[in-house]
Structure 1
């Protein structure tokens, strides 16, 4: 048993995830033949808790979650409350991945309570990290920053490098969604520096992907491509490769190579759906929809965005619901602009609520173009000007020039 446990963890640390999974199942088979003592029960739960990141990295969390459900009654019987907290944290991690964010928050909150009560700071940090991601998806960005401080507090007591770097990755995304570019890049750079010090390729890849995404949202595309390529080069496992390739493919869509990006993004939408990685599907499907829009494949863009909106609404991901409505507004401008207004208005409401200013500026620009098409110069100028003011204040690139051109092309006011 001890040999298999050590082999399992060694394989994980060297990113040999399939080997690690094999050692895990062999150890579980041996435990099946051993007496049903409290010690062996705790060993089984401990072994199971340690497998989350292995199954995650190879897109097999549904299989892992089934094991957790099978052994949940056993976790309630063990005396080690910190370990029980770790068990509920892994359940919450799966639920987060499946897009069940409210359920995941319940599991992770229970995990935090058990772990803090027992003084298990490492597992509490892992649970806080999962909570942080739940609130990221729900659009509660200030809560993300608060929970990151909880993660850092726990890692200061008992260090876990995955929790540490992943908390910076999530904070970087939150800042990107808010349009706070310098802070988004700084969070990613902090994660990258740490990952490089530890020479961990997976975390280097993850950190580089966060920086690439920040530059994509900002519109600084040379840097987005550079860090996207770094992320792809360093990615050692299927999950890290997915994150890296999605970032790079999204950048390609923005630099005039949408067909190249679309192929990769569509592949990952299918992979994520098959693996119940709904959290990933929500992100990638909206990126794919934008790729189709940039490629002027409006029917595919509309179909993909409607599918993305359905999942985002079902899961309660406000930012992505707003983004999908904005994209539908943009698509309708091209093929049936009478449908645009309601989509832009819904997106504006969401982006105001979540303070996602860069996306708000894009929605303002979209509705400004709609008024321009309708011949309402006054309203067009009002919304385009509001959009430009936000873009320039944030330091967004590319978009301000587009808006300036729209403003310059407006007919002069009639005397």
Structure 2
């Protein structure tokens, strides 16, 4: 099936395909408007500025949910038929993978800023699994129910095997999008756990109840990594990028290989050469002007390293295999950053020396650990670009409410405790220098 299509070949609204109108909530979810088009099977596409369009997998699950919700509330058979059409369109786009069914996302679709390979989304997969299970029950279709289970089982494929399951540091977790190193976007992880709970209720599956319990225990163990206590905030994810500068003691040093070792992940290559930076900030790479095609380093070589707070306080490390004519003393600096509540990423400032190391003549390997004291904003704290009516960070607010819900529903006092702590943080915001000017006396009003 062709991935990229011309936008004029798409319908601007499901009604143009003979499908029922969607309600206002579903219209918002599927982003009904000029940037979304629908294929003959009802599958949503994202319309790009050049007039082409690419599939947008998660939007199809929202459309399916909308039709099923209307059918469940009203019994309208046309909405059930529409749901069946959308479901079959999604299933036709899925491929078998490791005994499961997955809806692949291609890197050139531009739907993920930090995954640069073909992948599937744990969030998208479990959304489809839940809605397919609902559809199978409404229609009493055993084949659809079997396919729902296949889709759901994609959550159990490990990240290193192309899936979304993180099983490291004595915990089980699920990636919204499988980055390397571990990202674990907290909102996505919470949504996946909620979907596993819903799927287990729908199907009565003991296996999925056990998976949920393991996931909740993993979440409890991981929540300290999301705590940005000095700013009185939670963190959006565990992933981040850090600029570093290698100060070489001699000319002509060549890098033969470079990798980032991050807890819970296999080593990730640091790229160099033409095109290395084209993948964006979430690909480790040397600055193109500082390393030539043969890997020769300048005396001050800059690099962007993608690192993770997963497994904190275990450190991330840069491992270099270097070829040097002379013995030399070298050092590494990290770029210091500060938090701005309206910024989507840390704001860069100066440089801080974090390590010195010796390089022997010939080929040698050096492993440089990056101290956490120099990386306070890795695992970027939530920002305030979107806020609730009372002025609270929308993402922080969702973290609190979802933890409260999961803690209450499944008798998990640890989750409830974190929700309470992060809610109490809001009272501190007027006293946090980075936030005081934004909130003043209203910060605790929530």
TM over 0.5: no
Q: Which has the higher strand share?
A: 2
Q: Which has the higher helix share?
A: 1
Q: Which has the larger radius of gyration?
A: 2
TM-score using structure 1 length? 0.28
TM-score using structure 2 length? 0.27
